[in-house]
Amino acid sequence: MEPLLEVDGLEVEFRTRDGVARVLSGVSWHVGAGETLAILGESGSGKSVTAHAILGILDTPPAFVTGGAVRFRGENLLTAKEERRREVRGAGIAMVFQDALSALNPVFTVGFQIAEQLRTRRGLSKREARARAVELLDMVHIPNPRQRLDQYPHEFSGGMRQRAMIAMSLALDPEVLIADEPTTALDVTVQAQIMDLLDEMRRERDMGLVLITHDLGVVAEVADRIAVMYAGRIVEESDVYSLYRRPSHPYSEALLESVPRLDFKGKRLNSISGLPPSLLNVPPGCPFHPRCPRAEDVCSDQRPELARLDGGQYSACHFAEEVVRGG
């Protein structure tokens, strides 16, 4: 199956007064129609920067895309003209931003913000755009959509705002939806509702879904594949079952061990020692080696590349096969 969206060797750097930070170093992944790819990692690993680079909404300066390709249906968006990239945004690739309250304009009603893109991009009349906006709010299960259409973002609860953001992102029927931390700051019950909604939209529309998160618990039931990021690199890619059963990279293993579990009652919760490296000064060798309990001399000298293992997983670890075997 041909991927709808393919990121190939993407490199991004931030040029600051303190130096050049290599925020993305050869990031590669893909997602197909009807598939959910989850991208996991700590804050600062490069997850959101990847999404912004795909859509061409990085602030330049300080951010510069210095290498790689982003292909949507085989077309490299990084070399396309800005007019073409605007056509793809929303209609081809849409995004649900992390903080709906910041992403929505506080001085316009939710209905106006949804209808505006339908008028400007689809040529609908005001009446037609308003009717379609009602349908979209109803589709994402917002009660009384005709009344809520005329309310402002601050009149919505956090969960309802996120639903409105999803409705807005689906207005132009995108083929790929990127959801950047869509459940941040929501309580557990609402998190589950939002994830169920995203999964429902994916299935109904046969849409590719890229889910950016740091929460392993959120993606366990909805993701098909998982890509784990650390210090601007993909360090592991695997189907969801294999990663949860036997992660191939020590960082993935440490993330799993730090998740609270019901069967760990009374036990001390594990944590990952140390801090992620500064991207202004990434250590030589494997960037995770200062925090890795399995690190040996080779880890500080030679940087491992992402390679396919016998089980079908991909890992950037010198000892990945031993980790998978439980050694």
Rg of the chain on CA atoms, in Å: 21
Strand blocks (E) in the chain = 5-16, 19-31, 36-40, 63-72, 75-76, 93-96, 176-180, 208-213, 225-230, 233-239, 307-308, 314-315
Joined together, the tokens standing for residue 12 give 């991004």
The pLDDT of residue 84: 96
The pLDDT of residue 188: 81
The pLDDT of residue 112: 96
The pLDDT of residue 326: 64
The pLDDT of residue 100: 86
Asked if 117 and 169 touch (Cβ cutoff 8 Å), the reply is no
Q: How far apart are CA 58 and CA 176, in angstroms?
A: 19
Q: What is 81-118 written as a DSSP string? A: -HHHHHHHHHHTEEEE-S-HHHHS-TTS-HHHHHHHHH
Per-residue pLDDT of the chain (327 residues; tens, 9 = 90+): 689 999 999 999 999 999 999 999 999 999 999 999 999 999 889 999 999 999 999 999 999 999 999 999 999 999 999 999 999 999 999 999 988 888 999 999 999 999 999 999 999 999 999 999 999 999 999 999 999 999 999 999 989 999 999 999 999 999 999 999 988 777 888 888 999 999 999 999 999 999 998 878 778 888 999 999 999 999 999 999 999 999 999 999 999 888 877 776 777 778 888 899 999 999 999 999 999 988 999 999 999 999 999 878 999 999 987 766 665
| Maximum pairwise Cα distance, the chain | 68
The pLDDT of residue 183: 84
Which three-class secondary structure state does DSSP give residue 235? strand
The pLDDT of residue 271: 84
The pLDDT of residue 27: 97
Label residue 83 exposed, middle or buried (CB < 10 Å: 0-12, 13-18, 19+): exposed
The pLDDT of residue 85: 95
The pLDDT of residue 312: 85
The pLDDT of residue 59: 93
Q: Which contacts (CB < 8 Å, 24+ apart) does range 303-309 have?
A: 306/28, 306/233, 306/234, 306/235, 306/237, 309/248
Asked if 283 and 292 touch (Cβ cutoff 8 Å), the reply is no
Dihedral angle of Cα 213, 215, 217, 218, to the nearest 10 degrees: -30
Q: pTM value?
A: 0.93
